[in-house]
Amino acid sequence: MRDKLNDAARLELMQEAIGNIEMFTEGIATYEQFASNKILCHAVTYNLQCIGESVYRLSREFIETHPSIDWEAIEGLRHVLVHDYYQVNLEMIWMILEKDLPGLKTYLLSIQ
């Protein structure tokens, strides 16, 4: 059940997961460094799942009033990571870390 009373808490969980990813990947400058560390890949993937699960549980009202983020894509990533984990492409994960996560972090900080 999606409950708008919990949106603020879910946004905080997303920020925490982003912080975890940033901490885990500190000093990791290349895809090769990332992909060669299996524990790191799993830790990052888990935190991306947490972000996706938080998005999945955001209220429709919140999502509709914040259309500048592709919430559907974030939720879709969660479904792939959880249900189709054997198809996870680490290059795609690295691109998300490089290109998408910083913007999501900035946006979350701007609305709280």
- pLDDT tens-place string over residues 6-57: 899 999 999 999 999 999 999 999 999 999 999 999 999 999 999 999 999 9
Active site residues: 78, 83
* Whole-angstrom distance, CA of residue 72 vs CA of residue 79: 11
Structural domain of 80: 4-111
Backbone angles phi, psi at 53, to 5 degrees: -65, -40
Residue 80: pLDDT band with limits 50, 70, 90: confident
- Residue 57 neighbours by CB under 8 Å, 6+ apart: 2, 3, 6, 10
* Whole-angstrom distance, CA of residue 85 vs CA of residue 67: 28
Backbone angles phi, psi at 73, to 5 degrees: -65, -40
DSSP state of 46: H
Number of domains in the chain: 1
The confidence score (pLDDT) of residue 13 equals: 96
